[in-house]
Amino acid sequence: MNRSTALHQLFVTAVLLSVMTTPALAQTPEHSRKFQLQANTAQFWKLVDHRAKLEMVGGGFGFTEGPMWDPAGFLIISDETQNKIYRLYPHGKKESLIALGDPDGNTFDRRHRLIDCASVLRALIEVTGTGQYKILADHYQGKKLNTPNDVVVGPDGALYFTDPTMDFTPGMQQELPFEGVYRLDDGGNLRLLLKDVKQPNGLAFSPDGKRFYVDSDSDKNIYVFDVALDGSLTNGRIFGGEQGNHGDGEPDGMKLDQKGNLFAVGPKGIWIWDESGHHLGTIVMPEQPANLTWGDRDYRTLYITATTSVYRLRTKTKGYLPYLEH
């Protein structure tokens, strides 16, 4: 997430934040954004019921990111301004797991280790259940990484992550002359895959492992690449654009369902795309989201981190979770 954009949105939503009830979303203040389901095609309603209600799971955060559903029955949530990673339970209880400077995107790997993009550490790390961390990667060819932003498990079981510069804080110096997308294997070998996408942010693989998606915080496009057997990314092209008005939000985290539909953070909410690049519709959120994940036992619920809160929305489709596919 772009920290400057996040802080601007946080200021706005702190004034306009709506009051929530469970299970339905309450009326928002006059100038606040309201939850809406905006369909561009009939296909949208095959994925989200027109009667679906948005629920708040937890509030009172600083800026939420990196949601992950643990099968034990809780969420992992990063808070970029409170500088903590939390466990958040469906009834709203939260517990601090670790204090960490500007934690961002998270994933589980295939061994169920929690992997975090730690912006202040400029590293990809493993976070243990006891609140400790281990650095997995923080340098490329002897130079410090920028600020790792989001991470996923690839079809080969390796970790793939984006490394833009947009989360630099005062005093940080860029050592690499580019923003990259990397692959980290189990042996600790770090490989640069892309360096021509400006400010890469959210990323995801298609369920068949043949396509890789990444969005740009710079030009507001989603790009798609073909995935070779060795993990190389080729034939990059624009999949779709998520341009919006000033203050509407930026492209950010993304996830796919098992049918290959892409659920991506964009202006005003979650944009849903089919695998051919058609924008099916938008889940307009009362607070600007940064990321999302699939959860509950059937993985048909979207859990959405949105500024100071975490929300959930039941869908009619089942999420694709690459760390469970092996």
Q: Which long-range contacts (CB under 8 A, 24 or more apart) does 77-82 make?
A: 77/305, 77/310, 78/103, 78/104, 78/105, 78/106, 78/116, 78/305, 79/103, 80/1, 80/3, 80/6, 80/104, 80/119, 81/6, 81/7, 81/10
Does any domain span residue 230? yes
Residues 6 or more apart whose CB falls under 8 angstroms from that of 111 comprise none
Torsion, CA 76, CA 80, CA 82, CA 87, rounded to 10: 0
Nearest to 40 by CA among 243, 286, 242, 278: 278
**Omega within 30 of 0 (cis) for the link into 23:** yes
| Domain range enclosing 271 | 3-321
* Per-residue pLDDT at 56: 98
Token pair belonging to 101:
């400077």
Domain CATH code at residue 203: 2.120.10.30
- 291 exposure class (CB count in 10 Å sphere: 0-12, 13-18, 19+): buried
Does any domain span residue 236? yes
* Per-residue pLDDT at 21: 36
* Per-residue pLDDT at 17: 37
Whole-number Å distance between alpha carbons of 231 and 15 = 45
Whole-number Å distance between alpha carbons of 288 and 248 = 8
Asked if 224 and 206 touch (Cβ cutoff 8 Å), the reply is: no
* Per-residue pLDDT at 31: 40
277: helix, strand or coil: coil
DSSP assigned state of 319: B
What is the per-residue pLDDT across 263-300, written as a single tens digit (0 to 9) for each? 999 999 999 999 999 999 999 999 999 999 999 999 99
* Per-residue pLDDT at 176: 98
Whole-number Å distance between alpha carbons of 207 and 221 = 21
pTM attached to this predicted model: 0.91
Whole-number Å distance between alpha carbons of 250 and 247 = 9
- 43 exposure class (CB count in 10 Å sphere: 0-12, 13-18, 19+): middle
Q: pLDDT under 50 in the chain at which residues? A: 4, 7-31
Does any domain span residue 144? yes
Does any domain span residue 267? yes
Does any domain span residue 326? no
* Per-residue pLDDT at 230: 86
Asked if 60 and 312 touch (Cβ cutoff 8 Å), the reply is: no
Whole-number Å distance between alpha carbons of 89 and 124 = 25
Whole-number Å distance between alpha carbons of 164 and 181 = 9
Whole-number Å distance between alpha carbons of 85 and 92 = 15
* Per-residue pLDDT at 1: 62
264: helix, strand or coil: strand
Does any domain span residue 244? yes
Does any domain span residue 114? yes
Token pair belonging to 240:
């779709």
- How many structural domains comprise the chain? 1
